[in-house]
Structure 1
Amino acid sequence: MSYDAKVFNVMVASPGDVLAERALFREVIHEWNAVNSEVRKVVLMPVGWETHSSPEMGAGPQEIINQQVLHSCDLLVGIFWTRAGTPTTEYASGTIEEIEKHIAAGRLAMLYFSTTPAVLDDVDNEQYQTLRDFKASCRSRGLFESFDSLAEFRNKFSRQLQQKLNAHEMFKLTQTESSSNQPVSDFMRLTVPSLTHEAKVLLKEVSQDPHGRLTYVRYIGGAAMQSNAKSFLDSKERREVAKWENALQLLQEEELIVERGHKGEFFEITAKGYEVADTIIS
Structure 2
Amino acid sequence: MSYNAVVCNVMIASPADVQQERLLARETLWNWNYLHCEQSQIVLMPIGWDTHSAPAMDDRPQGIINKQVVERSDLLIGIFWTRLGTPSGEADSGTVEEIEKHLAAGKPAMLYFSSAPVRPESVDAEQFAALRKFKDQCKEKGLIATYEDPAQFAAVLQGHLVHTVNDHSYFQDIRSASGSVATQAENPEPSVELDLSKEARDLLLEAAKDPNGTVLKVRTFGGLTVQANKKNMVTAPKDGRCEALWEGAVDELVENDLMADVGYKGEVFRVTRAGYELADSLAQQA
- For the aligned pair, the TM-score class normalised by the smaller chain equals 0.5 to 0.7
Which residue matches 1:264?
none
What's the offset of the Cα at 1:59? 1.4
Which residue matches 1:42?
42
What's the offset of the Cα at 1:103? 1.1
1:166 aligned to 2:163? Answer: no
What's the offset of the Cα at 1:2? 4.8
**Alignment map for 1:23-62 (pairs within 5 Å):** 23-62=23-62
Distance 1:80 1:30, change over 3 A: same
For the Cα contact (< 8 Å) 1:11–1:76, is it kept in 2?
A: yes
For the Cα contact (< 8 Å) 1:40–1:178, is it kept in 2?
A: no
What's the offset of the Cα at 1:141? 0.3
Which residue matches 2:7?
7
What is the count of residue pairs matched by the alignment? Answer: 184
Aligned Cα RMSD in Å? 1.9
Distance 1:180 1:52, change over 3 A: closer
**Alignment map for 1:250-269 (pairs within 5 Å):** none
What's the offset of the Cα at 1:134? 0.6
Q: 1:9-55: per-residue Cα shift (whole Å, max 9, x none)?
A: 10011000000000110011000111222333211110000000000
Structure number with the bigger relative contact order (C-alpha 8 A, sep ≥ 6) is 2
1:150 aligned to 2:156? Answer: no
Which residue matches 1:76?
76
1:125 aligned to 2:108? Answer: no
Taking only the aligned residue pairs, the percentage that are identical comes to 49
5+ residue gaps, structure 1: 184-190, 192-282
Q: Distance in 1 between matches of 2:99 and 2:177?
A: 29
Q: Distance in 1 between matches of 2:39 and 2:117?
A: 40
TM-score (norm 2): 0.61
User: Which shows bigger deviation, 18-27 or 163-172?
Assistant: 163-172
Which residue matches 1:274?
none
Q: 1:115-166: per-residue Cα shift (whole Å, max 9, x none)?
A: 0010111100111111111111111100000001111111111101111111
What's the offset of the Cα at 1:178? 6.3
Three-state SS of the structure 1 residue aligned to 2:141 is: coil
What's the offset of the Cα at 1:179? 6.5
What's the offset of the Cα at 1:180? 4.0
What's the offset of the Cα at 1:169? 1.6
TM-score (norm 1): 0.62
Distance 1:90 1:41, change over 3 A: same
For the Cα contact (< 8 Å) 1:102–1:109, is it kept in 2?
A: yes
Given residue 91 of structure 2, which amino acid in structure 1 is its aligned partner? Answer: Y
Three-state SS of the structure 2 residue aligned to 1:140 is: helix
For the Cα contact (< 8 Å) 1:13–1:77, is it kept in 2?
A: yes
What's the offset of the Cα at 1:100? 1.1
Distance 1:176 1:101, change over 3 A: closer
Which residue matches 1:108?
108
Q: Distance in 2 between matches of 1:181 and 1:157?
A: 26
Three-state SS of the structure 2 residue aligned to 1:46 is: strand
Which residue matches 1:139?
139
For the Cα contact (< 8 Å) 1:10–1:77, is it kept in 2?
A: yes
Q: 1:203-237: per-residue Cα shift (whole Å, max 9, x none)?
A: xxxxxxxxxxxxxxxxxxxxxxxxxxxxxxxxxxx
